[in-house]
Amino acid sequence: MISCRNLTRRFGSFTAVDSLDLEVAEGAVCAFLGPNGAGKSTTVKMLTGLLPPTSGSVEVCGLDVVHHALEVKRIIGVLPEDLGLFDDLTVEEHLLLTGSVYGIPKAETKLRVAQLLHALSLEHGRNTFAAACSHGMRKKTAFAMALLPNPRVLFLDEPFEAIDPVTSKIMRDLLAAVARRRVTVFLTSHILSVVEQIATQVVMIRKGKIVWDSPPSGLPQALEQHYFDLVETPVVEELSWLGSPRS
Amino acid sequence: MARVAAVLKALAQAWRRDSGSFQSTVGNNFFLVTALLLQNAGTFIYLLIGVVLLFPLSTDPLRKIPASRLSFWPLTDHDRRLLRLVSPWVNPVSWLVLGAAVWAARGKVTLGLWAAFSGLFVLAFVLSDLPISPSRSIWLHVPPFPGRWNQLIRKNLREILTTLDFYCALLLSLSALAWRIFGVSLPSEAFLALTILVVLAVSSYSQCLFGLDGAGGLARYRLLPLHGWEILIAKDIALLAAIIPLTLPLAPLAGIAAALAALALGHQPSVERMRPQRRWRFSTGAGLVTGLLHAGIMAMAASTVYFTSAWIVLICAAAWLASVWYYGRLVGSDAPK
């Protein structure tokens, strides 16, 4: 469903993503893990057509993302890193906009909007402008926009960060449900405990290179420990001035 | 005292940065033309600009610090009182009001003018300090448009309504309407000149159509399954929807021709040289040469329609469509940058 071959992205002399090869099957929930600056968001941007690769190729549902950009956009749903919201549209208007540009009939759009607003507890803020929304509301709006066109592939960049536990659970359940209906989910996250619950494929990236790719059952130890060992060891720094008598 | 001084220093820095955004007037078509061509006849226009500029400048500098942050800082009651008394003087408009008071006392400025000037300042200052959050709910009343671009056009229109360009044009248009209502006879050429001024006042926005979308909005454009020309048309329809009602009391066809010319020329800087804009400021155009060229062609288009044939509007529309097609491809391929 998602296929990358030798995918590379350079910014000047800096290589953000280096010769990435990846296969994600239909109906899989692929968790793409790595520390800040490892190349996760750059990869998502290339997979969704937001950023052209320097070299290599990306295919989504058999379509080349660079050469069939519009066709790919029609079959994917994206929760981008910066959420991609317009300050001058309300929560509900963002969803109505999505329905109309994806060519969903008005009545069907209204039905889906109502259901999504209810499911994500956004009903009370439906007329709130994105600029005035809390971060959590903005994230839920962007998530609802990704789901509304009933995409075949979902790309979610850090969907669970800055979300309350109840919404996180709702989102997890929704993702598990859509994956059972053969929708492919590709997500990045730093919250390993959540990832552990829903992922069917775990990919770890470090300095632009994939260092692990397996189903959760293939992990030799607990996800968190494996992540620490393979990707990033926590730094321990003694801040001796903290809690000491004030000068 | 050191703590208050530190806060005042931060306030002065924030105010200086914010006031820098008023330099956008340098690259604004309307300001360029009024400064270069209307030096003798521009008193009324400069008065309008003064009012439009003064209002947002007259805010309380202290509100630049979030109230929650200010309440956390370890300042004594005395510090806070001192801050309240001294902070208004961080705003240079306070010094202008004081200077004008001295002039008024010496008879160099009439007392009425000083009262109007300082009254406007105090009103804006107090309003900015009231504990009310600015409501955006008024923008919910922006009417819907038919078709699949409805929400995009509404969003774009809301963006236009948060630029000072629009209110400058509105004041001009309302003044013309008042002249008409109260029967002041004007030569027919005056309607053309006023139409050009109205369109000119809003035209800089056509050079920075993506300026108020923000990084998130620009990313969303690239995710939506829309062609670039559709995104540009949604932008243009919104601008036309703002301009056409303003030119109705004047010379509407000439106004439409000028607006189409402005859009046809504005796509290039909008798409190829994107510049972020700030709300409640004048739009920053693409520069002096582009601005003057823009103004000249707009004036030519409007005059030709007014004095020769209304059919010239069709030529302007064709040029606009060609521009939408050409620059729409760029928006679709790898823009917004």
- Note the pTM of the prediction, 2 decimals: 0.83
Q: What CA dihedral angle connects A112, A117, A119 and A125, to 10 degrees? A: 180
- Pair B216, A82: CB distance under 8 Å: yes
Whether pLDDT at A7 is above 90:
yes
- CA distance linking residue A51 with residue B335, whole number of Å: 10
Residue (of A159, A167, A164, A127) closest to A142 by Cα position: A159
Contact assignment for A86 to B150 by CB distance below 8 Å? no
Per-residue model confidence as pLDDT tens digits over A22-80: 999 999 999 999 998 899 999 999 999 889 999 999 999 999 999 999 999 999 999 99
Q: Does residue B121 sit in helix, strand or coil?
A: helix
* Residue A84 with chain B: CB contacts under 8 Å: 216-217, 219-220, 223
Mutation site, A42, A88, A98, interface B, largest B CB count within 10 A: A88
pLDDT at residue B278, as a whole number: 82
Q: Largest Cα–Cα distance in chain B? A: 72
Q: What is the pLDDT of residue B335?
A: 39
What does pLDDT average to in each consecutive run of 10 residues of chain B (337 residues)? 83 75 62 64 58 65 78 84 86 80 78 75 72 71 92 96 89 86 78 91 92 91 93 97 94 95 95 85 79 89 93 95 94 52
User: Is residue A241, in this structure, part of any structural domain at all?
Assistant: no
Alpha carbons within 13 angstroms on the beta-carbon side of residue B17 total: 8
Three-state SS at B323: helix
Residue of A nearest to B160 (CA): A88
Q: B232, B267 in Cβ contact below 8 A?
A: yes
Sheet containing A14-24: order of strands: A14-24, A2-11, A55-60, A63-64
Chain B touched by A97 (CB under 8 Å): yes
Question: Nearest CA of chain A to the CA of B162: how many Å?
Answer: 10
Q: What is the full DSSP assignment across B267-301?
A: HHHHHHS-----TTSPPP-S-HHHHHHHHHHHHHH
What CA–CA distances, in Å, run from A144 to A92, A117, B13, B76, B298?
10, 8, 40, 47, 43
Lowest mean pLDDT, pick from A79-83, A219-223, B130-134: B130-134
In 10 A of CB A64, how many CB atoms?
15
Q: Using the beta-carbon criterion (under 8 Å), do B151 and A93 form an inter-chain contact?
A: yes
Predicted pLDDT at B96: 80
Q: Is A202 within the bounds of a domain?
A: yes
Range scoring the smallest mean pLDDT among A161-165, A180-184, A191-195: A161-165
Residue range A106-164, pLDDT digits in tens: 999 999 999 999 999 999 999 999 999 999 999 999 999 999 999 999 999 999 988 88
Encoded tokens for B52: 């439009």
Which amino acid is present at A214? S
Identify the residue with better confidence: A194 or B59: A194
Which residue in the set B136, B220, B332 is minimally distant from A84, CB to CB? B220
Size of interface A-B (CB pairs under 8 A): 82
Q: Is residue A244 part of a domain?
A: no
In a domain, A128, yes or no: yes
Q: CA A150 to CA B80: how far, in whole Å?
A: 55
Token reading at B78: 């005395």
Other Cβ atoms closer than 10 A to A169: 14
A117: contact with B, CB 8 A cutoff: no
What are the chain A neighbours of B148 within 8 Å (beta carbons)?
A: 100-101, 103
Q: Does B337 touch chain A (CB under 8 A)?
A: no
Identify the pLDDT of residue A247: 59
Whether residue A70 and residue B227 make contact (CB cut-off 8 A), yes or no, is yes
Q: Is residue A53 part of a domain?
A: yes
Instruction: Look up the domain containing A76 and give its range.
Output: 2-230
Residue B10, pLDDT score: 84
Q: Alpha-carbon distance A21 to A55, whole Å? A: 12
Q: How many CB atoms lie within 10 A of CB B15?
A: 18
Every domain of chain B and the residues it spans? 2-134, 138-334
DSSP summary character for residue B39: T
User: What pLDDT score does B336 carry?
Assistant: 38
Report the C-alpha gap between A109 and B151 in whole angstroms. Answer: 14
Q: Which of B148, B219, B225 comes nearest A70 by C-beta?
A: B225
pLDDT at B17 (0 to 100): 74
Instruction: For chain B, positions 150-169, list CB contacts with chain A under 8 A.
Output: 150-152, 154-156, 158-159, 162
Identify the pLDDT of residue B68. Answer: 76
Neighboring chain A residues of B140 at a CB cutoff of 8 Å: 90, 127
Separation between Cα atoms, residue B256 and residue B58, nearest integer Å: 35
Here the CATH number for the domain that contains residue A150 is 3.40.50.300
Whether residue A115 contacts residue B160, with contact meaning beta carbons closer than 8 Å, is answered with no
Backbone phi, psi, residue A55, to 5°: -155, 170
In a domain, A238, yes or no: no
Report yes or no: B138 at the A interface, CB cutoff 8 Å. Answer: no
Cα separations in angstroms, B17 against A205, B88, B95 = 40, 16, 18
Q: Choose, out of A66, A87, A126, the residue to mutate when testing the contact with B (most B CBs < 10 Å).
A: A87
Indicate the number of domains in chain A: 1
Chain-chain contact of A89 with B154 (C-beta, under 8 angstroms): yes
Contact B155 A89 (CB under 8 A): yes
Task: Establish if A40 touches chain B: CB-CB under 8 angstroms.
Answer: no
ipTM, interface predicted TM-score of the complex: 0.85
